[in-house]
């Protein structure tokens, strides 16, 4: 199935040669869905993806039932799930790199000259969770790890797990040098590869 919809950008690298944009937008520039919606078919959630009307916004009542579906790949097993049924939209425990997923352009490898192995894509958050379909679910790694409620953090001690653009999962200590965090966050900063 083609996940690129007229007027809405939602593609992924294995098929289309580009990473998802920071959000899915309509032709007027209005954000409709978050970057995680574009990943649904690639994390085994094709059924949920098929129930979403991509021409309507993530919080439109038409999409409410699908957006209430918890997505296991978007949940941290260390954070307790709700014990009772809820009509709230399902949350995510991860956020994207604001310096990479902040705009509407699909990112090609050429947009990451620092290297896919040296650039951070997404990571754990420990509070201020948002629905997984919400557009612009991004944070700034330069705020440090476990230092700001607006930044990245973990319920586990010592640091966070992050997903690099090349698909590798890396543990980052909360004591990581801010210069290294900046180098990992910037896709085209020109810094030497960080020594992790």
Q: What is the pLDDT of residues 69-116, one digit of tens each?
A: 999 999 998 988 765 555 789 999 999 999 988 766 667 777 888 888
| Predicted TM-score of the model (pTM) | 0.85
Which is nearest to 174 in space by CA: 135, 144, 196? 144
Instruction: Name the residue with higher pLDDT: 59 or 29.
Output: 59
CA distance 100 to 187: 6
pLDDT band at 1 (very low <50, low <70, confident <90, very high): very low
CB atoms closer than 10 angstroms to residue 101 = 23
User: What average pLDDT does the structure give for the chain?
Assistant: 84
Could you give phi then psi for residue 79, rounded to 5 degrees? -105, 120
Token pair of 15 as six digits: 């098929």
Q: What is the DSSP string of 10-39?
A: ---HHHHSSBPPSEEE-TTS-EEEEHHHHH
Least confident of 45-49, 82-86, 168-172, 176-180: 82-86
Q: Which helix (H) or strand (E) holds 179?
A: helix 178-185
């Amino acid at each position: 199935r083609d996940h690129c919809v007229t007027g809405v950008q939602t593609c992924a690298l294995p098929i289309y040669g580009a990473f998802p944009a920071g959000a899915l937008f309509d032709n007027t520039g209005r954000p409709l869905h978050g970057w995680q919606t574009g990943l649904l078919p690639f994390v085994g959630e094709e059924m949920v993806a098929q129930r979403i009307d991509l021409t309507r916004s993530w919080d439109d009542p038409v999409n409410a039932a699908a957006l209430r579906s918890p997505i296991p790949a978007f949940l941290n097993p260390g954070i307790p799930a709700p014990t009772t049924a809820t009509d709230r939209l399902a949350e995510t425990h991860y956020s994207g790199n604001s310096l990479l997923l902040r705009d509407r352009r699909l990112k090609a490898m050429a947009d990451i000259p620092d290297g896919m192995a040296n650039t951070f894509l997404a990571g754990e958050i420990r509070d201020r969770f948002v629905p997984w379909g919400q557009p612009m679910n991004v944070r700034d790694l330069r705020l440090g790890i476990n230092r700001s409620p607006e930044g990245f953090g973990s319920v586990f001690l010592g640091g966070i797990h992050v997903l690099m653009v090349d698909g590798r999962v890396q543990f980052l200590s909360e004591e990581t040098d801010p210069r290294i965090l900046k180098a990992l966050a910037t896709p085209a900063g020109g810094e030497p590869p960080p020594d992790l």
